[in-house]
Amino acid sequence: MRSNRGDPLKADPSAQQRLLDLQELDSQLAQLAHRRRSLPEHSVLAELEEQRAALDARVRDLRIAADDTTAEHKRANADVEQVRARRERDQQRMDSGAIANPKDLERMQHELVSLSKRISDLEDIELEVMERLESVQEQLMAVSGELAEVETKIATATAARDQAFADIDGEVSDLNAKRGTVADELPADLLALYEKLREAKGGVGAAPLRARRCEGCSLELTASDLRAVAAAPADEVVRCEECQRILVRTAESGL
């Protein structure tokens, strides 16, 4: 066994058992951290944020289109008004009797007809612009409504996530308090070795030997390793030959 080489680390058997309690707490903390990272609300929120960004962009585009079309409608309306005013002036001049020459009168009549035709054309344009403006405004209302719905969903999912965070953080805080108590009971050198292994070994630094199996790597010890573990003094910190983790002997070790 590794622990038989050099100067093996010594720790009271009760401290070794306590190390398993610490490992259990650390495993629970790791599970909570994993649960915090993989809450379903994270993916729900990511999807909703994407929808919001797309709807935001559409609302912005439609606002620009609505502004442009409003300006276009004002211009079309002004065009109609301008020609109407001219027709009214001409009509008044004719009605006033100021134009006596029949040729001038005839020309004026023609102009009035042509102005009326022009007004009718411009009114058609104004109507067409008005219809486009109404359509853009309807779309803007609809998309703004969709955006508001998505924002409500985001608020709900955010509240659910924050509640889940608060629940998890409460558990983490309780476990950390227990962890502190257990860690304080352990000798510094044993704790340091455990922390180093836990860091390097996916969160598990110490494991019980149960039914001749290291529960860190799940491998069964060889007969010679078992003999070495059985022969090691109770206060010797033994290590799994396969995974290097601290191997804590228990009543069910099968030695």
**Single-letter amino acid code for the residue at 224:** S
Q: What is the DSSP letter of 220?
A: B
214 binds Zn ion (CB under 5 A): yes
Shortest Å distance, C-beta 209 to Zn ion:
9
For residue 129, count other CB atoms closer than 10 A to its CB.
19
Distance separating the N- and C-terminal Cα atoms of the chain: 15
Torsion sign over Cα 90, 95, 96, 102: positive
| Contacts with Zn ion, 161-200, as mask; x by CB under 5 A | ----------------------------------------
209 binds Zn ion (CB under 5 A): no
Q: Answer left, alpha or beta for residue 104, where phi above 0 means left and psi between -120 and 50 means alpha.
A: alpha
217 binds Zn ion (CB under 5 A): yes
Shortest Å distance, C-beta 217 to Zn ion:
3
* Residue with smaller CB distance to Zn ion, 21 or 242: 242
Half-sphere exposure of 25 (CA within 13 A, CB side): 18
Find the binder of Zn ion among 140, 243, 250, 255 (CB under 5 A): 243
- Contact segment (CB under 5 A) with Zn ion among 100-108, 124-132, 185-193, 237-245 equals 237-245
Half-sphere exposure of 98 (CA within 13 A, CB side): 8
CA 249 to chain centre: 45
Altogether, the residues listed in the chain come to a count of 255
205 binds Zn ion (CB under 5 A): no
Find the binder of Zn ion among 21, 90, 235, 242 (CB under 5 A): 242
| Contacts with Zn ion, 87-116, as mask; x by CB under 5 A | ------------------------------
Find the binder of Zn ion among 45, 193, 240, 248 (CB under 5 A): 240
Residue keyed to tokens 């476990």: 175
Residues that bind Zn ion (CB under 5 A): 214, 216-217, 240, 242-243
